[in-house]
Structure 1
Amino acid sequence: MRNFHVRFLLLLPCTGLLPGSISAHARPAVHRMPETHRTGHHAAVARLHTWQQTETITGEVIDVYGKPLTDVAIRIKSGDAATVTDTEGKFRIRAERGATLVFSLHNYLPLEKTVEQFTPWKVVLQENPHAAENSYHLLNDVQPRQLQVQSSGELRTPELSKTTSNHILGLINGRLAGARIFQGSGEPGNEAFGMQLRGMDPILIVDGNPDRPMMIVNPEEIESVTVLKDALATAMLGIRGANGAVLITTRRGHEGPQRISFTAQSGIQTPVNRFKPLGAYDYARLYNEALANDGKPAAYTQSDLDAWKNKTDPYGHPDVDWWNQIIRERTAFHRFDLTLSGGRKVARYFVNLDYLQQGGMFKSADINKYKTNADYNRYIVRSNVDFGLNRSISASVNLFGRIQTENQPGAQTITTLSNLLFTPNNAYPVINQDGSLGGTNLWTNNLYGQTVHSGYRTQFTRDLNADVNVRINLQDVTPGLWAKATASFFTTFTEQINRSKSFAVYQLIPGKGDATPSYLKFGNDGDMANSTGSTSTNRFLYTEAQLGYTRQYGAHGLNILLNASKDNRITGNQVPQYFLGSAGRIQYNYREKYMLELAMSYSGTNRYPKNKRYGWFPAIGAGWDLAKENFLRADWLNQFKLRATYGTTGDASDAGYYAYLQYYQGGSGYNFGNSATGFSGVREGIQANPQLSWARSNMMNLALDMAFFDRKLSVTIERYHTKMYDLLQTRGDATLVSGLTYPLENLGINRVRGIDITAAWQSQAGSFHYYISGNLSMLKKTVVFNDEVPNRYAWMNRTGQPVNTAFGYLSDGLFQTTEEISNSAKPFGYQPIPGDIKYKDLNNDGKIDQYDMAPIMPGKPQVFYGATFGCSWKNFDVSVLLQGVANRYETVGVVTRWEFQLNGLGQAYEHHLGRWTPENAATATYPRLSIGTNINNHRSSDYWIRNTSYIRLKNVELGYNLPASLLRRVKLATARVFLNGTNLLTFSPFKDADPENIVWGYPIQKVMSAGLTIKF
C-alpha cells in the first residue's frame, strides 16, 4: 500500500492533477530514471526524494520601464523544461533548487538566474544596444532591415545613452561609418560642432521636417539617429538631397501603464589642452634675441632680466600667468531630465522635460551683483501625443519648446580669449600697488578687468515647434492603402541685452630717488550700457501630403509611397524662400531575396529663374541576398546581401539671395562744380546670372552585407563614387576692368570616392555579455574641373588636386650659412640670413616667386574611424568609445606660426624655444626669431602644415543597477548609478594644443560626471 501511494504521487505531475500545475504550452518535460537501475522500494524512495526538491516558480518578466514582456523564452539551462511568458509577462515553470534559468528575447540581453527561493520572481531584461534591429528608418517610412537597399546607418536609444554630450553630434561621434564629426570649441552653449557625411554637409530632418536646427533636439528625447548616404536614400529630397541627410526620430508614447524616468547628472569640466605661453624672463630674453636678429638694439637690460628671473619687482617687472589669473581650471555642469510616457489605445503620450546648466571658465568677483561668466542655461520641453480617433483615423500632435540663456563678460568671450592669446606675461601687473587695474598706453584692456569689470551681456533664444499629423487607413478601399497629411511650424527668436561698461587702467611711473611713484591713466570708468536688440528671427512652415500602399502578394512584397511638400522659410528680413516638390518611391521584393527600388523627385526653389526653377531627380537600386539561395545556404551564414544604387540628386545650398536678378546698391557721393552739397549715387551690385541653377550629383553605391553565426558577427562594406557638377564658381578669367563683381556660375566639377566599413561582434559567456564594434571610412575629394586661368606650370593648377587644397611654397629646411644663401634662390626684395626658411625653386629660374607656389597639403585620403567596446556582468556594465582621424593636416594658426605678433607686442610660446640659433642649428624646430611680420618666414608654406591626426578615448561609462530585491521595497522598476568620462585621453603627433582646436578658441572640455537614473 505504501508503494502504491508513492507511485500515485509520482504520476500526478504528468497528469496535471496537482494544484498549481502549469499550462499545456509551458509544461516541462519530466526526466524519468531508468527502471533497470532502480526497482522496488529503493527506487520509489529515490523518486520521492527528487520530487521533494522540485517546485513551481512563478513570476513576471518586464523591461526597465516596468512594461511586461511577451514571448520571453525561459528554460532550465541543464534540462529540457521550458516555457514562454504570456501577454502579461507572467510565467510558471518547475525547477529544482540550485538550477539555472535562462531568460532570452530578441533585442534584449539574455539573463541567467539561479533558483534560490520559490517566492514570485520579478525579472528585468535590459535592451541589447547592439542587437540586429529588424527595422530602420528611411525618408517618410520605416522598413524591415532585411529589405534594405539604400545606404544608411542608424543608432538607437541604448547606444546614444552611453555617451554624455549636450549636443546630438557629440552622441554619434565615432559611431557611424561615413559620418565625420568635429568640434571647434568648448564654449557652453556654443560648442561649434560640425558634421560631414561622406565629405558633404548633410541636411537635418527632425520627425520628417527638413532643415531644422541641430541644437533644438535634446538627446534624451531621441529614439534613433539615421544617416542617409546615397542617391536612392535621398532622391525624394530632390533639390536638397545631394549632401545626404540625418534623420532624427523622437520617442513616442506606448500603450500601457505610465512609465516615469528621471536622470540627475553632475560633473566637472576641465580644458583638454592649450598652448603654453612663456614666462616673463624667457619672453624678454627671446625678445632681445629677435631684435638682435633684426639688427636692432635690445629692449631689456640685464637688470630687467634679473628682476624677472628672480621675481624681485612684481609691479615694475610683472610676471603674470594670465591663464591662472582669469581662468578657472574646473567648472561645473548639472543636468536633470524627466520623462513620462504611457497611455491607452485611444491616446498615448511621451513628455520630456530637461534642464541643463553649464558654468563658464572665467573667474568672477563678489563685488558684482550680476554674473560676468560665460554661463549657459537651457530648458527643453517636448510633448508627443498620438490619438486613435476611430478605427481608420489616427493623429499626432508634437510640441517642442526651448529656452536658453547665454551669459558672457561685457568685453565678450571671444575678445577676452583673443587678448589672453596675445598678451605677454610682462605687459602689466594685474593690480597696481594702490589697488587700481594695471595697464599701459599699449595695453589698455586689462584682462582681469575684461572678465570682472566690463559688465555683462546676455543672449536669450526662444524656439518653438508644433507638428500636426493626420493618418487615414484606407483599408476599406483596398487593403494596405493609407494617406497622411502633415503641417509643421517652427520659429526661433534671439535677443541680446548689452550691459557692458568701460574701465580705466593705470601705468606705474616709478619716482626718482625718494619721490612718490605716480600713475598714468588710460581710458575711463564708464557707466553701464543698457541696450537690447533682436539678432535673429526665423519662421518655417512645412506642409506635406502622403499616399502609401503596402501589400504582400504571396511571395511578392510591394511598398509604394507618393508625396507632395512645400517648405516656406523666412530668415530675418529676407524675402521668403520656398522649396516645392513632389516625389515617389516604389519598393519590390521577392521572398525577401531579390529587391528592387525606384525613387524620383520633381522639386525646385524660388531662388532660381522661373525657367530653371524645377528639375527631375531619379534613382534606382537593387539587392540580392545570396544566403537565401540553396547553393549558398548554411547554418553559419545568416546574410550575404549584395546592394547597388545609382541616381542623381541636387544641391541648392549655394543658391544665393536672388542672384539671377540684377540689383543696385548705394555708391559714393559726388558734387557738382564747387558746390558743398553732395549727392548720393547708386551703382550696380554683383553682376546677375540669369542662367543660375543648382549643383548636381551623380551618385553610385556598391555594398555587401554579411552576418554569421546567428548574427553574432556582422560586416558591411560599401564603396561609393560621386560626381558633383554644375558647382558654382567665379570664372578664372574674371577681371576688374569692367568695375563689376563677376557672378557665380555653374562651372565646377568635383569627384568624391570612398569606402565605409562597419563590423560588430557580440556574444556571451554565462551571465557575462560583451560586444565590440568598429567603423572605418576613407574618402578623397578631387577637383575634376576648376575654371582657372592657364597656368605656366602644372604644379600651379587647382584642377586635379584635393578639394580645398592650400597652396604656398615648399620649404627645404632652414638656411644654415651665408654661403648656402648665396648659392640658393631667394624671394624678390628680401635678403635671407641664416635661420630663415629656405624654399624650393620649382622652375629653376633662380628666384622664389608666384611660379614656385604649389600644393602644400599631403594629398592623402581622409580617414576617420571609431570603435566601441562594452560588457555587462550581473548588475554591472561598462562601455568604452574610441574615436579618431588620420591623414588630417592643417595650417596652424597665428600662435604657432608667429612670435611677437601685433607688430612686436604679442606673446611668445614654449614651442618658440626651439628657434634656430647658431648653437642649435642642427636641431632647430622653428626659424630664427624676428619682431613682427617676417615676409620670408611668415608666408604661406608647408613649413606651417601640421599633422593634426588624433585618436581620443572619447567616452567611458561604468554603470551599476541596484538589486531588484532592494528596489521592490521602494517600488522602483530600476535604479542605475553611473560614472562617465568624456575626452579623457588624446593621442596626436600635434603636441602644442588640442588637435581639434588649433586656432585656440574656447578650449574643448574634458568632462567627468556621475549620475543616477531611476525608472518606475
Structure 2
Amino acid sequence: MRRTLYVLCLMVALLTYGLQAYSQDNSTAKQFSVAGIVYDDTGEPCIGATVRVKNEPGVGTVSDLDGKFAIKVKPGATLLFEYVGMETVQRTILKDEPSLSVKFKVAKTNAIDEVVVTGLVSQKKVSVVGAVSTINMDELRTPGTSLVNMIGGRMPGVITMQISGEPGQNLSNFWVRGVSTFGAGAGALVLIDGIEGRLSDIDVDDVESISVLKDAAATAVYGVRGANGVVLVTTKRGSKEKIQVTARATVKLSQIKRLPEYLSSYDYARLANEARAMSGEADLYTPIQLDIIKNNLDPELYPNVNWIDEIMKKTSLQENYYASARGGGDVAQYFVSVGYRHEGAAYRQKENQFHQPLSYDQLTYRANINMNLTKRSELYFGVDGNISNYTTPGGKNTNQVWEDVLQLNPLMFPVTYADGTLPTYGQSDLISPFAALNYQGYKSSDYSRNMITLKFTHRFGGILKGLVGSVQAVNDRTAGFSERRFVRPDYYRATGRTSTGDLIKTLRSKQQDMFYSSDNESWRKYYMEAKLDYNTSFGAHNLGALLFYYMEDTKGSEWGNGDALGIAAIPKRRQNVSGRLSWGYNSTYFVDANFGYTGSDLFPKGQRFGFFPSIAVGWAPTSYKWVQKHLPFVNFFKIRGSYGLAGNDNIANTRFPYLTIINNHAATTWGYNGSGIVEKQTGADNLKWEVAKKLNVGIDANFFNDAIKLNVDFFRDTRDHIFQDRVTLPEYAGMVTYPKSNVGRMHSFGSDGNISYFHKINKEMNFTVRANYTWSQNIVDYFEENKLAYDYQSVTGMPYGVLRGYISEGLFKDEADIRQSADQTAAFGVVRPGDIKYRDVNGDGVINKDDRVPLSYGNNVPRVMFGIGGEFNYKDFTVSMLFKGNTGVNYYRVGMGYDAGWIPFYNGEMGNVLKMVNNPKNRWIPSWYSGDPSTENPNAMFPRLSYGSNANNSQLSTFWKQNGSFLRFQELNFRYVFRHRKWLRAAGLSALECDFVINNLFTIDSAKYFDPEQAWFNGAAYPIPTTYSLQMYFRF
C-alpha cells in the first residue's frame, strides 16, 4: 500500500513540478545561479522550505533533506524564502550566489488574526460575533476511536456520553448545548466539507479544522437544520509546497478494569435460602447440597461459574494505520490519504467451524486535486469514503451477550458438561453467553460510503474585485449488506445422577441446519450548491456579503419496505437560500445580519418554507489608543451578542406526517373475515417546523501578550411548535392513534466557555494549561397531557428528563411501623419489615401512583460537562494530559429497567447477585434470623432479601438514587519528536514522532462497579476499557 501511495503521489508531483521546470529551463534571458542552505531560528537546516521568485508564478524550488536548494533567476530577481511558522525572507539577486545562507525567524502571530470557519465563510477571529468553538488540531493527534470521542471535554458547548466500549459501536452520543427539545431529534447537524455526514467516517489526520456553531448568528443560514447546533469539519486539501508524505502506525492494547463482582455459588446458595426465609418459604438448598457446593464436589450439577472470567479476556488488540501525501505547485495542488482501523473484542472465543472473531474493521480513503485553470479560476475534484465490516455473534450482539453475563447466576449451569456438550436452563431453554459467542454462528455487516465532489471557483477582478463565485455538485452513495449464518447446536439439561454416578441428561434442542439470511440497503444523495461571496474594504471599513443556495435530493432503498402505497420511498428534498451581510469598522465595531430561507417537502404545500433571520453585533474597545495606553495588559477584548431564529425539521419518523393514511389490509372482527380499512396515520393539521429563538451574549479576551485567553458565552434557547401527541382528545373521538400537532414549548439556558494560559519559561521550555465547561438546563413550558389529579405530576414546568418516582423514608422497622404507615399493599402486595417505606405525598393514607413525584434530573445527558488539561514542552519532548467530567445528573440503581444484581433473586434463580450484598452490614436482616438485633440496620444499602418478584422494593425511588457525577483522568500522553538526525536523513525521514498514550486511567465517581457513563443503565453494555497506545508518525 505504501509503495502504491508513493507512486501515485510522485506522478501528481511530477506533473505539477514539470510545469515549473519548464518555466525555468526555457528562459532565454541571462540567468544567475543561486545555491545555499536555509536554517530555522535554532540553526538547524529547514527541510521542504519553499524558495520562489517574486511575481513569477511557477518559478521555484524547495530545500532538500539537508536544507540545501539551487535555482536559476534573472538579474535583479527577488527570492522569497517561506517556511511554516517562520517569517518570509526576501533576497534580491544581482550576481551569482554559490553559497547563500538564509536564516528564518519565528513568525510573530497575533491570536486575533486566527482564521475561524463560521459556517459558509471563514473570518478572522477578531471579527467573529457569533458563538463558535474551535479546537487546535494538535490536541487531537492522539489515538482514538473517533473524532466524536476525542472532542469530549475539549470543546466548550459540546456534551458527550460514551455508553458502550464495544468495537465499532464505541462512539459517544453528543449534543451542542445539551437537549433543547422533546419532540424532535436533538442531535447536532454534522457537515463535512459542507455535506451532512458522520464523524465516525473520517480519520482525524484528514481534518484541517473543526468548528462548532452554537448561536443563531452562526446557524440561521442553515434554516430548518440549524436549531440544534452545527459541527463543521473541514478536511485537508493540497498546498503549494514540496510533497509531504506522512505515515502513522498505532497499536493499542485495551484492558477492561472496571467489572462487577458477583457472589460465588456457595454464597449465592446461602443468600437464596435467606431470601426464601424472608418470604416464609422453605430453603432452596439443603445442608448436604450446600456442602457439595462449598467443596465443589459436583461441578456439573452444582457448578461455580464466574461468567465474566469465562467469556472475557484480560486484553484485546486494536490497530490503526494511516498514510497521506500533500503538495503541489502553482498549477495544481493535491492531497491523498488512506487509513485502516481494526478493533478486536475482549471476548474469549473457541476455534471451531462456527467461529468468527468479533471485530470491527474500517478503511477510509480520500483524494482531491485543486487545479488552477486560469489566474482567477480553479477546479476542485475530490473522492472520499470508507468501507467497514462489523462482525457479531449470530444469535445475539455483543451488548446482549454482556447483558446475559449480568443475568446468569453461578449455579445455573456449567460452561459445558464434562463430555463437552452444551447446557441449557429453564422452560425457555436459556443458553449461556459462552454458547452464544461460540456456537451460534455469526452476523457480518458491511457498510460503504463513497462521495464524489466537483467544484468550480472563480475570483472576479476589475470592478468586481473581491467577489468570489463557486458552484459545487456532490454525488453521495452509501450501501449496506449484512448476512447472518445462524446455527443452534444440541443443548442438554442435567437433572441428576444415576445410582452409579452417571450424569442424567435430557436433549432439549437438537442441532438444526445452518440458517442463512441476508439484507441489503442503499442510500443516495444528490447535492448542489452555488455561492457568491464578496469582501472589500475602504478606509477603516470592512464589508462582506454572501448569497448561498443549495438543494438536495435523498433516497434510501429501505424506506419503502412494508409500505403498500410506496409513500416512504419518495425521495426527501430540501432547498435553501441563505444570505449574510457583515460590516466592521477599525476592528472595533462589528455587525452581522444573516438569514436562511429553507424549504422541506416534509411539510404540506403552502407551509414548506421557513424564514430564519439573525442579527449579531460586537464591540472590541482594545483598538482604542486610550485602552492600549491605560490597560496595556489587555491585548484584546470583545463583547458580542446575537439573536435570531433557527429551525428543526427532524420532527417525525414518518415520511409525510401531515397525510392521513388509510390501511386497507386490516381485518375486522365480529365474524367477518374479509379485509377492512383503518386509519394507519392521522394527519397532523397545520404542520410546521420547530422554531428555536436563540439569544447569546459572550466575551472574548486575551491578556498579557496573549498568554491568557478567555471565552465565555451565556445563552437562552426558546423552542416553539414542538411536535407531540394531542392526548387531550377524548376516547369517544374514536382515534386509533393520537394525532400530532406543533403544540409543545420548551426553553433551555446556560453558559459555556474556556480559558487557557501559556507560559514560556525559556527558549526551550514552556507549558499550557486550559479548561472548558458547558452548563445547560431546560424547562418544559407546555406539554400536552391529560387532566392530572395533582400539579406535581405535570411535565409542564419541570426540566425535560426529570425522573418520577417515590420518596423513600427508609426501611420498615417492624410490623407496628407498617401498620402505622400509609398502606402500600394495594399497589405492591405484601410488605414486610425491612422493605422500603414510601412517603404519602398526597396524604390519603395510601401509597399508589398518585404519590410519584419528580425526583431529580436523571437523563443520560448531563447538565454540566467540563475538561481540564494542558501540556509541558521541553525541546522535543512533550507530556500532555486531559481530565474530563460531568455533574448535575443522577442515576437510579433500580427502576430504570436494568435491575440485575441490585434486586437479588428478583425472578427466582434468574439474576446475578453482587458481592457487596454478602456483607451483612449492607443488607437488612431480621434479628430472628441472624440472632443479632444490630443486623436490622435502618441505613442498609439493600432492603431485606426476597425470593422472586418484590414489587415494593423494585420501584424507582430515592432509596436507589445515586450521584452520576464523575471526574475521569481521560488521557496521559508522552511524546518525543526526533528531528535533524543523520539516521533520519539516511532513512529519508524529516522527523519521527513517538507517542505513548494511556486513556481512561482512572475515574472518581460513585458507580464503582461499572463506568459512570454507563450508569444510566447499570452498566448493561460492553464495558469501556482502559487503553495503552504506542503511536508513531513518520514524516518523509
TM over 0.5: yes
Q: Which of 202, 219, 232 does residue 247 from structure 1 map onto?
A: 232
C-alpha distance in 1 between matches for 2:110 and 2:126: 16
CA contact (8 A) 1:209 1:542 kept: no
CA 1:859–1:509: 2 relative to 1, 3 Å: closer
The answer on whether the counterparts of 2:902 and 2:913 sit within 8 Å (CA) in structure 1 is: no
Find the aligned partners of 1:297 and 1:332 in 2 and give their Cα distance.
49
Amino acid at match of 1:752: S
Q: Quote the offset at 1:485 in angstroms.
A: 0.6
Q: Relative to 1, partners in 2 of residues 1:821 and 1:901: Cα closer, same or farther, differing over 3 Å?
A: closer
Secondary structure in 2 matching 1:997: helix
Whether 1:944 and 2:960 are equivalent positions in the alignment is yes
Question: 1:131, 1:813 → 2: CA distance?
Answer: 58
Pair 1:586-2:581 in alignment: yes
Name the residue aligned to 2:95: none
Residue of 985, 993, 1014 corresponding to 2:1002 = 985
Match status 1:866 vs 2:846: no
What residue identity is the alignment partner of 1:156?
N
2:24 maps to what in 1? none
Instruction: Find out whether 1:763 has 2:759 as its counterpart.
Output: yes
Secondary structure of 2:289's match? Answer: helix
Asked whether 1:854 is paired with 2:853, we answer yes
Residue 880 of structure 1 and its aligned partner are, at CA, apart by 0.4
Pairwise CA distance, 1:318: 0.3
Q: 1:630 to 1:992 in 2, by over 3 A?
A: same
**Offset of residue 904 of structure 1:** 4.2
CA distance in 2, matches of 1:666, 1:302: 65
Correspondence 1:305 to 2:305:
no
Query: In terms of mean alpha carbon deviation, does 259-268 or 206-215 score higher?
Result: 206-215
Q: 935, 941, 955: which is aligned to 2:971? A: 955
Question: How many pairs are equivalent?
Answer: 922
Deviates most, 332-341 or 428-437: 428-437
Cα distance, 1:723–1:245 mapped onto 2, change above 3 Å: same
Cα shift at 1:827 = 2.2
Residue 457 of structure 1 pairs with residue 443 of structure 2: yes
**Cα distance in 2 between the residues matched to 1:498 and 1:341:** 41
User: Structure 2 vs 1, CA of residues 403 and 106 (structure 1 numbering), >3 Å: closer, same or farther?
Assistant: closer
State the alpha-carbon separation in 1 of the partners of residues 364 and 257 from structure 2.
28
In 2: Cα distance, 1:185 partner to 1:312 partner: 39
C-alpha spacing 1:402/1:520, structure 2 compared with 1 (3 Å): same
1:886 partnered with 2:923: no
Which residue is 1:663 aligned to? Answer: 661
Preserved CA contact (<8 Å) 1:896 1:911: no
Return the alpha-carbon distance in structure 2 between the equivalents of residues 517 and 130 of structure 1.
81
Q: Which residue of 2 aligns with 1:907?
A: 912
Q: 2:122 aligns with which of 124, 142, 152?
A: 142
Alpha-carbon distance between aligned partners in 2 of 1:479 and 1:219, rounded to the nearest angstrom: 36
Instruction: Give me the whole-angstrom Cα distance separating, in 2, the residues matched to 1:324 and 1:828.
Output: 41
Q: Which residue of 2 aligns with 1:4?
A: none
Aligned partners of 1:617, 1:317: CA distance in 2, in Å? 69
User: CA 1:827/1:65 → structure 2, altered by over 3 Å: closer, same or farther?
Assistant: farther
Distance across 2 between alignment mates of 1:618 and 1:63: 54
Residues 130/855 of structure 1: CA separation in 2 closer, same or farther (3 Å cut): farther
Q: Which amino acid in the other structure matches residue 68 of structure 1?
A: A
Cα separation, 1, equivalents of 2:691 and 2:668? 46
User: 2:858 touches 2:890 (CA, 8 Å); kept in 1?
Assistant: no
Query: Aligned AA for 1:833?
Result: R
Per-residue deviation at 1:304?
1.8
Q: Which residue of 2 aligns with 1:157?
A: 137
Secondary structure at the aligned position of 1:611 is classed as coil
Who is 2:552 aligned against? 567
Q: Using the TM superposition, give the Cα deviation of residue 272 of structure 1 relative to its aligned residue in structure 2, in angstroms.
A: 4.4
AA paired with 2:449?
D
What is the Cα deviation at residue 104 of structure 1?
Answer: 14
Q: Is 1:383 matched up with 2:364?
A: no
Other-structure match for 2:216? 231
Conserved 8 A contact 1:156-1:223: no
The reply to whether residue 696 of structure 1 matches residue 691 of structure 2 is yes
Q: Distance in 1 between matches of 2:137 and 2:108?
A: 10
Q: Does 1:211 align with 2:196?
A: yes
CA contact (8 A) 2:424 2:430 kept: yes
- Give the structure 1 partner of residue 154 of structure 2: 175
Rounded to whole Å, the distance in 2 between the matches of 1:447 and 1:1009 is 29
Query: Which residue pairs with 1:789 in the alignment?
Result: 786
* Correspondence for 1:273 among 258, 263, 267: 258
AA at the equivalent of 2:746: N
Per-residue Cα deviation, 1:76-105 (whole angstroms, up to 9, x for no partner): xxxxxxxxxx9979899xxxxxxxxxx999
Q: Tell me which amino acid in the other structure corresponds to 1:405.
A: N
Distance 1:342 1:897, change over 3 A: same
Q: Deviations over 1:124-165 (max 9, x none)?
A: 99999997761100112111111110100112321211x321
State whether residues 579 and 606 of structure 1, in contact with CA within 8 Å, keep that contact through their aligned partners in structure 2: yes
- The alignment's TM-score, normalised by the length of structure 1, stands at 0.86
Which residue of structure 2 aligns with residue 447 of structure 1? 433
> In the alignment, which residue of structure 1 is the partner of 2:524?
539
Match of 2:903 among 898, 905, 909: 898
1:634-664, Cα deviation, whole Å (9 max, x unpaired): 3311111100100011111114421100002
The answer as to whether partners of 2:902 and 2:914 remain within 8 angstroms in 1 is no
Change (3 A) 1:128 1:186: farther
Structure 1 segment 637-676 matched on structure 2, within 5 A: 637-655=634-652, 656-665=654-663, 668-670=666-668
Inter-partner Cα distance in structure 2 for 1:65 and 1:665: 73
- Alpha-carbon deviations, 1:908-947, whole Å to 9, x = none? 2224333321314234101222233322111222323321
Quote the Cα distance in structure 1 between the aligned partners of 2:44 and 2:580.
36
1:482 counterpart = 2:463 = no
> CA RMSD, aligned part only?
2.9
Confirm or deny: 8 A CA contact 2:768 2:872 kept in the other structure. Answer: yes
Q: CA deviation at 1:217?
A: 1.3
- Structure 1: distance between partners of 2:189 and 2:256: 30
1:917 aligns with 2:913: no
Cα gap change, 1:318 to 1:140, in 2 (>3 Å) = same
Quick check: 641-650 or 490-499, which moved more?
Answer: 490-499
1:499: how far off?
Answer: 1.1
Alignment correspondent of 1:876: 877
Candidates 735, 744, 751, aligned match of 2:747: 751
User: Residue in 2 aligned with 1:81?
Assistant: none
Paired with 2:619 and 2:837, the residues of 1 have a C-alpha distance of 59
Shift of residue 312, structure 1, vs aligned partner? 2.4
Could you tell me how far apart the structure 1 residues matched to 2:287 and 2:111 are? Answer: 71
Change (3 A) 1:324 1:104: farther
Measured in 1, the distance between the counterparts of 2:278 and 2:666 equals: 46
Which residue in the other structure is 1:410 paired with? 394
Which range is displaced more, 184-193 or 909-918?
Answer: 909-918
Asked if 1:507 corresponds to 2:493, the answer is yes
Report deviation, 1:563.
Answer: 0.7
Instruction: Give the drift of 1:310.
Output: 2.1
Fraction of identical pairs, as percent: 25
Deviation at 1:526, TM superposition (A): 2.0
| AA partner of residue 749 (structure 1) | R
Give the partner amino acid of 1:137: V
Deviation at 1:588, TM superposition (A): 0.6
Name the counterpart of 1:1008. 1028
Alpha-carbon separation, structure 2, partners of 1:129 and 1:881:
26
Q: What is the one-letter code of the residue matched to 1:148?
A: V
Show the counterpart of 2:75: none
C-alpha distance in structure 2 between counterparts of 1:453 and 1:226, whole Å? 47
Aligned to 2:572: 577
Letter in 1 for 2:148: L
Structure 1 runs not aligned, ≥5 long: 1-55, 72-85, 93-102, 110-118
Question: 5 Å matches for 1:11-410?
Answer: 59-60=39-40, 66-68=47-49, 134-161=114-141, 163-200=142-179, 201-368=186-353, 371-410=355-394
**Aligned with 1:556 (options 531, 541, 546):** 541
Contact residue 244 and residue 327 of structure 2 kept, 8 A:
yes
User: What letter corresponds to residue 124 of structure 2 in structure 1?
Assistant: P
CA shift digits 1:418-474 (9 cap, x unpaired): 222211111111121222223334544133221111111111111111111111112
Residue in structure 1 matched with residue 949 of structure 2 by the alignment: 933
